[in-house]
Structure 1
Amino acid sequence: MPPPTDAQTFDLGDVTLASGTTLRGARLAYQVYGSLNADRTNAILYPTWYSGWHTDNEWLIGTDKALNPDEWFIIVPNMLGNGLSTSPSNADSPHDHARFPMVTFADQVECQYRLVTEHFGIRTLPLVTGWSMGAGQTYQWAVAHPEMVQRAVPFCGSSVTAAHNQVFLESLATALVADAAYADGDYAPDRLPVKGLRAFARIYSGWGFSQAFYWQEEWRTLGFTSLDDFLYGFWEQFFRDGRDPNNLLAMLRTWHAGNVGNTPGFNGDTRAALRSIRCPLLSLPAEKDLYFPPEDEQWASQFIPDGQVRVIPGVWGHFAGGGKNPVDTKFIDGAIAEMLARPGYVG
């Protein structure tokens, strides 16, 4: 499936990143669902995840869901690096391709903050929520702009990328760039490093779902007829279908560096950053997530003044948050509905 073409664009202009590098003429692609009310108080922010586009978030939006566009104004910003917002695949020289600078979660959120405040004139967010890297951005919002966030529900993600998670990410990056066709990132559009992408997808297939998922052959519920059919039809097809390798690597670097403690003012102190969160925060880790395990969220929650953890049960691992399993979707939707029904932080 090619990238969607229906995104709206907010011109950021020149953006100086945490690294000190300036992205010139940067753009933030986004989509909205629903209508903003007169006093601009019904906006929900729902950032994208690793390699996902705004359309990949739509499974949790609907009139039968807590994220009901008849009630809420739901903003889905595309991360820098995902191919729709400014990314290696569309950036101008000298930041094109493999020369794209490091973008942190803090950089992502500051660009989104400008969209929300400058473009829409919004000063309060009843909810920020997101899956995986979207969860990382949710935590970052709660730390960087506590005066705006009334409630937060990160699912299958974390406030800091753990060392074991980083090992997984480094294995992905190493496999991709090992393909000679990668050519130090200057591959031709019609000569993608397919061997590297296939290796990338194979590594991911062993981490995205749990051991029990494979043992129980849950992939059959997705319409696949054999293990090989699943590995090719789900994993390889996804990463070879409109996902640019340099974009994948840029987003990996963002993920790898994730840590709310690096928010300006906290000097790397993750615990202090978590203690600064003012809003009720409900984290939803998946029971068998191999790279965002529940233990990580239980550790973080002890420092958040109004932090809770509710584990998504089952065998789907990280993809419990991917909208593929109706049981998990119902669990996440119910938790969001419950949070929206409780009082939120009002600055």
Structure 2
Amino acid sequence: MKTLIAAAVGAACMVMAGLTMTETAAAQDLMVEKKVFELPSYTTQGGRTLKNVKVGWESYGTLNADKSNAILICHFFSGNSHAAGKYAAADAAPGYWDAIVGPGKAIDTNRYFVLSSDTLVNLNTGDPKTTTTGPASLDPDTGKPYALDFPVVTVGDFVNVQKALVESLGIRKLALVAGPSMGALQTYEWAASHPEMVAKAMPVIGAAEADAQLIAWLDVWAAPILVDPNWNKGDYYGKAPPNAGLAKALAVVTLQANHQEWANATFGRRAAKEGEEPAKALANRFQVQSILDTAGEARAKVSDANHFLYLVKANQLYAAGGVSLADAATKIKAPVLLITQPKDLVFTADAIDRTAETLRKGGVDVTQAFLQGTRGHLDGVISMKQAEGAIRAFLEK
């Protein structure tokens, strides 16, 4: 029982920390250095100019002489730039897509220069390997954290900062843009807003527009933070942070990112503690409740609640190209490999079908590949080796 519980806690923590499961890929010799990209100023799509914008980034492989072999990987909601490799040999696990990014792998770093960056308002403000600009950052004009004075930012803003990074390296066209979940949203955005810069696109476990159902679910994700009195309308820096609300929010994300097959097989209806049956007292809990909460509490300690809320807003606002899925379908010129999981509870099968159908009607060349497993949405992070053949074939086309 203890082994099972430890494994479940570890799995849930890895989900939210953006780390791959050890079952997906063995550690290898790809060693990575985290760097920082800085813009003296950046004007958001909403018209607000920010000073000293910083994001972290990393790369794998070597950029060729004509700079034509670059691939950009975009990360998911709770992730960061660490897509593959290790920062140090002693690291517990490699980056989340290490199963498909590396020497000789589907995205072969012997052939391609692969880069990935932290987004604006990245969740992982307490992670020393994450650099981001958001509500927790100091406003250069006041010397205090922005808090809710930070402007609303969009997936388009994430992409525009990435574009500045890419162009700073002298790269004019990307051989591939790819990413899971929120990384898929960034992938569609790249293809729709900068079609001249994207040769191929590989969105994974993501639709090209946030529909009403997703918008509402994202509101459910945010709700525990908003009712935590420590949130204090975003003004909590230098005070007790709203970690109770944030922990519960992260537990909700983890649950929806998985699937009932996994939950039932892993936890069943077991009590959290032997001898404390849930029917005996209101405070007695089921194991699945306890494990999700424990994982959420651990992750909340290195995350920021306001950043979580800004990420929610960016995802709610999302439509590829900034207008609509139908409009984006007329702008995307790159062929698309759309990799999804039919059991996904975040981007459901009908939302994926709607994206694929609309893109095809707009003239986009769409190839689909499907992942199998019991983890639902999360299979797009931890089960990507299944898609290795499809990815290799797509890159060779």
What residue in structure 1 maps to residue 150 of structure 2? Answer: 100
- The alpha-carbon distance between structure 1 residues 207 and 102, as it changes in their structure 2 partners (threshold 3 A), is same
2:195 is paired with a residue whose SS is: coil
The alignment status of 1:201 with 2:256, answered yes or no, reads: no
Letter in 1 for 2:75: T
> Is the contact made by 2:180 and 2:381 (CA closer than 8 Å) also made in structure 1?
yes
Amino acid at match of 2:136: S
Q: Deviations over 1:184-234 (max 9, x none)?
A: 212145622122123213322331111222122289xxxxxx535631454
- 1:37 corresponds to which letter in structure 2? N
Q: Which one-letter code corresponds to 2:217 in the other structure?
A: F
How far did residue 282 of structure 1 move? Answer: 1.2
Amino acid at match of 2:366: G
Alpha-carbon distance change, 145 to 188 in structure 1, aligned in 2, over 3 angstroms: closer
Matched with 1:85 is 132
Q: Distance in 1 between matches of 2:294 and 2:385?
A: 26
1:237 counterpart (298, 314, 322): 298
Matched, 1:279 2:339: no
What residue identity is the alignment partner of 1:17?
A: T
Amino acid at match of 1:252: V
Question: Is 2:47 the counterpart of 1:11?
Answer: no
1:138 is aligned to 187
Aligned to 1:55: 82
Name the aligned partner's letter for residue 44 of structure 1: I
Could you tell me which of 347, 356, 359 is aligned with 1:301? 356
1:163 to 200, 207, 212: 212
Judge conservation of contact 1:105–1:258 (CA < 8 Å) in 2.
yes
Answer yes or no: is the 8 Å Cα contact 1:261–1:271 preserved in 2.
no
Give, in whole Å, the separation in 1 of the partners of 2:380 and 2:298: 20
Please state if 1:211 is matched with 2:260: yes
Which of these residues, 231, 249, 257, is aligned with residue 182 of structure 1?
Answer: 231
Q: Which amino acid aligns with 1:136?
A: L
Confirm whether residue 41 of structure 1 aligns to residue 68 of structure 2.
yes
Query: 1:312 aligns to what?
Result: 371
Q: Secondary structure at the match of 2:355?
A: helix
Change (3 A) 1:199 1:59: closer
Instruction: Work out whether residues 130 and 138 of structure 1, in 8 Å CA contact, stay in contact via their aligned partners in 2.
Output: yes
* Cα deviation 1:295-338 (Å, max 9, x = unaligned): 21221222332013222222211111222xxxx22123333222
Q: Which amino acid aligns with 1:120?
A: L
In structure 2, how many angstroms separate the alpha carbons of the residues matched to 1:13 and 1:186? 26
CA displacement 1:111-143 (0-9 Å, x = unmatched): 1111111x1111111111001110000000010
Compute the displacement of 1:56 (Å). Answer: 5.2
Task: Indicate the SS of the match to 2:116.
Answer: strand
Residues 229 and 133 (structure 1), Cα distance of their counterparts in 2 relative to 1, 3 Å cut: same
Letter in 1 for 2:384: T
Name the amino acid aligned to 2:180.
W
Preserved CA contact (<8 Å) 1:51 1:243: no
Q: Distance in 1 between matches of 2:78 and 2:230?
A: 21
Structure 2 counterpart of 1:70, one-letter code = N
User: What TM-score results when the alignment is normalised by the length of structure 1?
Assistant: 0.86
1:164–1:291 CA contact under 8 A, matched in 2 = no
**Following the alignment from structure 2 to structure 1, what is the Cα–Cα distance between the partners of residues 113 and 148?**
36
Q: CA RMSD in A?
A: 2.5
Distance 1:233 1:68, change over 3 A: farther
- Code of the residue aligned with 2:356 in structure 1: it is S
> Match for residue 332 of structure 1?
387
Q: d(CA) in 2 for partners of 1:235 and 1:312?
A: 27
> What is the CA–CA distance in structure 1 between the aligned matches of 2:186 and 2:324, rounded to whole Å?
17
2:371 aligned with 1:322:
no
Q: Which secondary structure state, in structure 2, belongs to the residue aligned with residue 174 of structure 1?
A: helix
Q: Deviations over 1:62-85 (max 9, x none)?
A: 224222222211110111011422
AA aligned to 2:288 is L
CA distance in 2, matches of 1:207, 1:116: 33
- Kindly provide the amino acid, as one letter, of the partner of residue 256 in structure 1: Q
SS at match of 2:358: coil
- Does 55-64 or 71-80 show the bigger shift? 55-64
Q: SS of the residue aligned with 2:79?
A: coil
Structure 1: how far apart are the matches of 2:65 and 2:180?
29
Query: Residue 265 of structure 1 corresponds to which residue in structure 2?
Result: none
**1:59 alignment partner, SS class:** coil
* Structure 1 unaligned blocks of 5 or more: 220-225, 263-267, 343-347
String of CA shifts for 1:157-204, please: whole Å, max 9, x gaps.
121112111111111212112111112212145622122123213322
Whole-angstrom CA distance in 2 between matches of 1:338 and 1:308: 11
Q: C-alpha separation between the residues in 2 aligned to 1:272 and 1:256?
A: 18
Q: Tell whether the 8 Å contact from 2:243 to 2:297 is kept in structure 1 after alignment.
A: no
Pairing partner for 1:113 from 163, 172, 177: 163
Take 2:324 and 2:231, find their aligned partners in 1: how far apart are those partners? 37
For structure 2, the residue ranges without an aligned partner over 5 or more in a row are 1-12, 19-31, 85-94, 126-130, 269-286
**Distance in 1 of aligned mates of 2:38 and 2:187:** 22
Q: Is the 8 A contact 1:131 1:157 kept in 2?
A: yes
Are the counterparts in 2 of residues 130 and 154 from structure 1 also a CA contact under 8 Å?
A: yes
Pairing 1:248–2:248 present: no
